[in-house]
Chain A
């Protein structure tokens, strides 16, 4: 690594040989071993990943998308081979020595995180309203009804129907969340995604992630299918297994309140 390069860290495992993987910017992925741990890294140009440049680039959406996808792709490939703690995007060191020092300093935390996620995968469950809740045709208006009053009445009925459907969906979502939590080691929620991001026709009411032991993954998927059948007010989507991003944060105490 020359001074023109920085070192990007994707993940940390107890031992892994990531040779052959391609990382950010097409760079070869390699490892930095220290303290019985192996960091999966690649060199990145300082011009793009130095402090000022990184801050600027993170605001460039297409740069961010490419980088996030490349980061994720390496982590996913590594996680297929070996239990690995995924690092947050933009964990960057100026040299391999800096990475080695981090491995030494944080060895205990890293081992603890590895133990927590060994033989486990992250599954994402999103819950949406079953369908757009706009009622079909309005009822014929009564003969003697004034159009203004009829409008208000229809509007009110429509709003009530939407509200009821949403309430029903939230109740179902809560029940499903708790039911699935019983099959998982840990669970957490993200803010529901907006329809633009989720690419869904209806509102998302719950966006959850579960840490599920691998030997229970089939049961978990079956439970999702079963719960979907039991709760007609919502639709479910199951994604995974993800590398366990959501279950390695040290700052988890911050999240317990939410």
Chain B
């Protein structure tokens, strides 16, 4: 549809002065680049674990709040339901009652009939 820059932006031309996305940098400098064992050994597993840890840290720092709000507000069911919750309540209770009796009937081994 559209070409978007990820934010913080790294649109074409990284040299443009905008800092590149940390995730983009880390996945490259940690996972890639030529691997030659130097005199100081840091084993690969440490770095892989670190990547996972980093994801968790970034997640908790930057957007835990956002995620917490978003899922609630963007769930159309939860939102719309809030509005007419009261009027639906009686109906729900009635339906619950009917369903319960229907389950009881089924569990008692009666052939399933039309309960409506």
Which A residues are closer than 8 A to B by beta carbons? Answer: 6, 9, 12, 49-51, 54-55, 58-59, 61, 64-65, 68-69, 71-72, 76, 80, 85-95, 98, 102, 106, 110, 113, 124, 126, 128, 130, 132, 134-138, 146-149, 151, 154-155, 158, 190, 193-200, 207, 221, 224-225, 228-229, 231-242, 245-246, 248-251
Contact = CB atoms under 8 A, between A and B. Distances in A.
Interface residues of B, number: 60
B26 A68 contact: yes
Contacts of A58: 42, 46-47, 50
A194 B55 contact: yes
B12 A242 contact: no
Contact of A86 (B22, B33, B47, B67): B33
Chain B contact residues, majority secondary structure: helix
Given A61-B54, A196-B59, A124 B24 contact: yes
B25 interface: yes
Nearest to B94: A146
B106 interface: no
Contacts of A93: 38-40
Contacts of A193: 23, 27
A148 B1 contact: no
Interface in B66-81: 67, 74-77, 80-81
Contacts of B20: 72, 239
B95 interface: yes
Contact of B29 (A61, A89, A236): A89
A241 B10 CA distance: 10
Interface string B91-111: 110011001000000000000
B36 A91 contact: yes
**In the complex, which of the residues B12, B41, B80, B88 has the most CB atoms of chain A within 10 Å of its own CB atom?**
B12
Contact of A72 (B29, B67, B81): B29
Contacts of A224: 3
Given A138-B80, A234-B1, A49 B40 contact: yes
Given A137-B80, A146-B95, A102 B2 contact: no
A6 B39 CA distance: 9
**In the complex, which of the residues B4, B27, B40 has the most CB atoms of chain A within 10 Å of its own CB atom?**
B40
Given A68-B25, A236-B3, A249 B40 contact: no
B50 A194 contact: no
A236 B5 CA distance: 8
